[in-house]
Amino acid sequence: MADFYDRVKIYIKAGNGGNGCISFRREKYVSHGGPDGGDGGHGGNIVFVIDKGTGTLLDFRNRKKFVAGNGGDGMPAKFHGATAPDLLIPVPEGTVIRDAETGKIIKDMSRCEPFVAARGGRGGWGNRHFATPTRQAPRFAKNGLEGEEKEIILELKMLADVGFVGLPNVGKSTLLSMISKARPKIANYPFTTLSPMLGVVSVGEGHSFVAADIPGLIKGAAEGLGLGHDFLRHVDRCRLLVHVVDISGSEGRDPMEDVKLIQEELRQYSEELASRPQILAANKYDLLSPDAAEKIKAEWDAFAASLGYEIVYISAASGENVKTLCQKIYGTLQKLPPITIYEPEYEKAPPEPKNPDDITARREDGVWYVEGDWLKWLMSGINFDDRESFMYFEKMLREKGIIEKMRALGIRDGDTVSLYDLEFDFVD
């Protein structure tokens, strides 16, 4: 399968916001210039876009890490730091983005606009935002926020109206090459086709449908044998299945047993998939003698009726009845709902922690280690070398109930507390 790549795990990281600037206005005839530190720029987003010119995820084989640029730091004179450009990641249409940890769908990149998968961090405020009537020369600014990061899985599920399924060497590739401009490799040995092939089939007067040749279905495909396990996902979206079977038995197999075998593999993979509408394409009908053809046709008519399927007798090699099959496929598709677009299952966490009270504390070797997302976010914007900035930090701890929560967790006066490498003796 060297020419096909349809599932990959990658790491994405949006850019961090730039830091705010600490600066004061200095002009010859202005005695009280005041703070003029500019804000940091926003970090770049990670954005997925549909690339209609590709059909595999091969571009991700050697690159698994995507990191957007950081925002520029703020500058004096209220100059804003540069906002980093978004990092665009092109993927084939039909790619499903999943959360690597939970497996839940984040976005289905099918017939949609560009999607922001990870947002860049906001730039930090410059010191001019912290000036008050009583604090006219603030010597601290906010650091930029970190950009979102996550591991995701890209999974390609082709956008095809119809999926051709069947055992190897029954003529699926030949049929697709006859009805479309797709040119799959065709030869008389198992697994000639090593990747799903798509073709647009025209039925006249501007009407068409998309068909996919799904290779590699054999007994045990649903458990991973052969190539079928890798490619069964590509029939997930297909509204209609065309089961191609070698009715002549030229491969030495019982064609009816072949149909039952494939049905069972589809059922093991997905009951819903196996229950979708199907048409039997009885291929290689021209290889039968006239006497045998009449008898076998009667048997297959009854067999198809028992399954609830329509049947069309064709020869993919000569083109016999192929046009009739295409018309029947198109007519059936008009009665079916549109291609499935998967809804997101992943609930995105809020961009900023909303609960300052949500902290944890553990004691190791006589030191209390206190941690929390909101606490970490607060500390990112504090200049602990500046007295006013440190006083602002203490004020926020009290106003947001952090001190009270630390007491509730068992921390007492005189205990040593560590807040992300900031260590001090606890005094209430």
Distance CA 27, CA 282 (A): 89
Distance CA 321, CA 298 (A): 18
| 74 pLDDT more than 90 | yes
Is 80 exceeded by the pLDDT of residue 120?
A: yes
Distance CA 87, CA 69 (A): 8
Angle at 332 between CA 329 and CA 334, to 5 degrees: 115
Q: Considering the chain, what is the average pLDDT of its residues?
A: 84
Residue 269 sits in which domain range? 162-333
Are residue 34 and residue 146 in the same domain, yes or no? yes
307 domain residue, yes or no: yes
Are 166 and 135 members of one domain? no
pLDDT at residue 226, rounded to an integer = 44
Neighbours of 399 (CB within 10 A): 10
Domain end point (choices 318, 333, 348) = 333
Classify residue 343: in a domain, yes or no.
no
Examine the fold and report which residue of 97, 131, 156 is the final residue of a domain before the chain moves on. Answer: 156
The DSSP bridge pattern shows strands 105-109 and 95-99 to be antiparallel
CA torsion 212→217→220→222, rounded to 10°? Answer: 0
Q: Is residue 394 part of a domain?
A: yes
* In a shared domain, residues 287 and 179: yes
The answer to whether the beta carbons of residues 361 and 369 sit under 8 Å apart is: yes
Same domain as 149, residue 179: no
**Does 346 fall in a domain?**
no
Q: Is residue 411 over pLDDT 80?
A: yes
From 229-238, 290-299, 418-427, the region with the lowest mean pLDDT: 229-238
Quote the DSSP letter at residue 146.
Answer: P
Q: Which of 190-194, 258-262, 293-297, 309-313 has the highest mean pLDDT?
A: 309-313
Q: How many CA atoms lie within 13 A of 355 on its CB side?
A: 8
Same domain, 182 and 142: no
Q: Which among 323, 291, 390 has a CA at the least distance from the CA of 178? A: 323
Residue 152 and residue 278 in one domain: no
pLDDT of residue 88: 97
Distance between CA atoms of residues 17 and 121, nearest Å = 4
Q: What is the pLDDT of residue 2?
A: 40
CATH of the domain at 91: 2.70.210.12
Two tokens, residue 234: 């590509």
Can you give the length of the chain in residues?
428
Dist. CA 18–CA 123, nearest whole Å: 5
For residue 255, is pLDDT > 70? yes
Does 338 map to a domain? no
Together in a domain, 312 and 228: yes
pLDDT tens-digit series, residues 331-359: 999 999 988 888 898 766 555 556 777 88
pLDDT of 422 reads 86
| CA 164 vs CA 324, 397, 422: distances in Å | 16, 64, 64
**CATH classification at residue 400:** 3.30.300.350
SS3 call for 235: helix
Burial class (CB in 10 A: 0-12, 13-18, 19+), 416: middle
Over range 403-412, report the average pLDDT: 90
* Token reading at 316: 């993919």
Distant-in-sequence, close-in-space partners of 214: CB < 8 Å, separation ≥ 6: 163, 164, 165, 172, 196, 231, 232, 234, 235
**CA 25, CA 75: separation in Å to the nearest integer?**
12
**Where does a domain end: 129, 156, 183?**
156
Assigned domain for 349 exists: no
Verify that 309 and 392 share a domain, yes or no.
Answer: no
- Alpha-carbon distances of 6 from 106, 151, 227, 241, 400, rounded to whole Å: 17, 17, 13, 21, 48
Give the model's pLDDT for residue 292.
84
255 and 272 in a single domain? The answer is yes
The SS3 of residue 163 is strand
106 and 200 share one domain: no
What contacts 172, CB < 8 A, 6 or more positions away? Answer: 164, 165, 166, 193, 213, 214, 215, 244
CATH number of the domain where residue 260 is located: 3.40.50.300
Least confident stretch, 40-49, 158-167, 217-226, 230-239: 217-226
309 and 373 in one domain?
Answer: no
Angle at 94 between CA 51 and CA 67, to 5 degrees: 55
- What region does 320 belong to: left with phi over 0, alpha with psi -120 to 50, or beta? beta
**Residues 235/155, Cβ–Cβ less than 8 Å:** no
- For residue 419, the SS3 value is strand
Q: How many domains does the chain have?
A: 3
Q: At what angle do helices 172-179 and 322-333 cross, to 10 degrees?
A: 80
Are 245 and 309 in the same domain? yes
Instruction: With a cut of 90, say whether residue 330 has pLDDT above it.
Output: yes
What Rg do the C-alpha atoms of the chain give, in angstroms?
Answer: 32
The reply to whether 264 falls in a domain is: yes
Strand partners, 209: 201
The lowest-confidence range among 20-24, 31-35, 116-120 is: 31-35
Report pLDDT for 222. 44
